[in-house]
């Protein structure tokens, strides 16, 4: 028995990134519009009241706006065509920009809020015009609620039946919707913390609670940054296709007469909507070269029909040896 060492490859196909529901463009734009308006209102409220929690929330909203801009830039850059230097395209640009969102903006915003909160606690005083701050926070809660509702609606279009939002954030291969979901959830939680801080300061006449609320907002942002960084780092390193996608690919490969079984298979996401598939397939020992080539072409067509994001496919024919089990990844 001899083994063919020449893989059959096909790298055709565009690099779609950010289109459709997978990119969450609608959710990003909704969040961007809401956060810009909220940030302006919070800065004005801070100038009137001097409440540190309002400043922390203003920085939070400003960071969120920057996040959405970066996600939109990443989606656009990911659409660039492959080059000789980058033969698999630029799909992972979406992961790069999401990682920047986590590390730079959330971390910087969170650390600034913690610093401002500690400063406020040490120099306790009065918060002026608390009514203005409370009104701004209540309006912001309404706007953030709209943004979160839009993100949840977009997520429900791609989320698996019965899958929790947390599971979706952990397992999604497209970073935009998980980022926006976490952003909006953190923003709503931060607004509630700011409202508690300002409200307690208004009732007691002491800005200590405003400072404590600011510290809590900072810790929240740092926690979100850690979650996003961990999940995006995994995508940057390279994650395999989901178990369901792997099963569909194996079923497609073995659905024709020319492929007896899958000896082993490896998959990796080149981007959210771009999947590399490399597999060694078992063919009949008496098959002709023309028959093997035809079986590979047909197998590729079946894989693309079953899993359209399989853009780069390498199939290597071999003869299955006794005791060889299929491995996937």
- Residues 271-298: tens digit of each pLDDT: 888 899 999 999 988 888 899 999 999 9
The secondary element (H helix, E strand) that includes residue 279 is: strand 274-282
Q: What is the pLDDT of residue 2?
A: 35
The DSSP code sequence of 199-263 is: HHHHHHS-THHHHHHHHHHHHHHHHHHHHHHHHHHHHHH-PPPPHHHHHHHHHHHTTSTT--EEE
Domain with CATH 1.20.1510.10 in the chain: 25-237
Collect all residues with Cβ–Cβ distance below 8 Å to 100 and sequence separation of at least 6. 70
pLDDT tens sequence for the chain (329 residues): 333 333 444 433 333 333 333 456 777 887 788 778 888 888 888 888 777 777 877 877 787 788 788 888 888 888 888 888 888 888 888 888 888 877 766 677 788 778 878 877 777 666 566 778 788 888 888 888 888 888 888 888 888 888 888 888 888 887 878 888 888 888 888 888 888 888 888 788 777 888 888 889 889 888 888 888 888 888 888 889 988 899 999 999 999 888 999 999 999 998 888 899 999 999 988 888 899 999 999 999 999 999 999 989 999 999 877 655 555 56
Q: How far apart are CA 253 and CA 303, in angstroms?
A: 6
Residue 47 vs residues 1, 51, 196, 214, 328: alpha-carbon distances, Å: 80, 8, 19, 16, 58
CATH topology of domain 25-237: Alpha-lytic protease prodomain-like (1.20.1510)
pLDDT of 253 reads: 94
Please choose, from the candidates 98, 97, 77, the residue with its C-alpha nearest in 3D space to the C-alpha of residue 89.
77
Q: Is 327 helix (H, G, I), strand (E, B) or coil?
A: strand
The fold adopted by the segment(s) 241-318 is Alpha-Beta Plaits (3.30.70)
What residues contact residue 321 under an 8 Å CB cut-off, 6+ apart? 1
Instruction: Please list the residue range(s) of the chain that carry CATH number 3.30.70.1350.
Output: 241-318
């Amino acid at each position: 028995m001899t083994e063919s060492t020449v893989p059959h490859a096909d790298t055709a196909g565009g690099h779609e990134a950010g289109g459709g529901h997978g990119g969450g463009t609608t959710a990003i734009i909704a969040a961007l519009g809401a956060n810009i308006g909220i940030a302006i209102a919070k800065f004005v409220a801070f100038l009137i009241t001097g409440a540190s929690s309002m400043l922390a929330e203003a920085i939070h909203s400003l960071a969120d706006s920057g996040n959405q801009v970066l996600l939109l830039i990443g989606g656009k850059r990911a659409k660039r065509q492959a080059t000789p230097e980058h033969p698999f395209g630029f799909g992972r640009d979406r992961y790069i920009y999401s990682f920047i969102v986590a590390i730079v903006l959330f971390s910087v915003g969170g650390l600034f809020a913690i610093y401002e909160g500690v400063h406020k606690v040490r120099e306790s005083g009065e918060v002026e015009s608390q009514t203005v701050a409370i009104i701004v926070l209540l309006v912001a809660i309404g706007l953030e609620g709209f943004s979160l509702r839009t993100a949840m609606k977009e997520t429900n279009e791609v989320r698996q039946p019965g899958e929790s939002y947390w599971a979706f954030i952990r397992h999604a291969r497209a970073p935009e919707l998980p980022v926006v979901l976490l952003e909006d959830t953190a923003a709503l939680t931060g607004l509630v913390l700011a409202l508690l801080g300002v409200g307690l300061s208004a009732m007691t006449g002491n800005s200590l609670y405003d400072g404590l609320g600011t510290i809590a907002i900072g810790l929240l942002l740092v926690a979100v940054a850690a979650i996003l960084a961990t999940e995006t780092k995994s995508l940057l390193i390279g994650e395999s296709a989901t178990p369901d996608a792997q099963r569909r690919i194996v079923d497609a490969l073995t659905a024709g007469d020319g492929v007896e079984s899958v000896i082993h298979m490896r998959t990796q996401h080149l981007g959210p909507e771009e999947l590399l598939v490399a597999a060694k397939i078992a063919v009949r020992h008496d098959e002709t070269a023309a028959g093997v080539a035809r079986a590979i072409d047909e197998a590729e067509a079946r894989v693309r029909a079953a899993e359209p994001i399989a853009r780069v496919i390498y199939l290597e024919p071999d003869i299955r040896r006794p005791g060889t089990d299929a491995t996937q990844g």
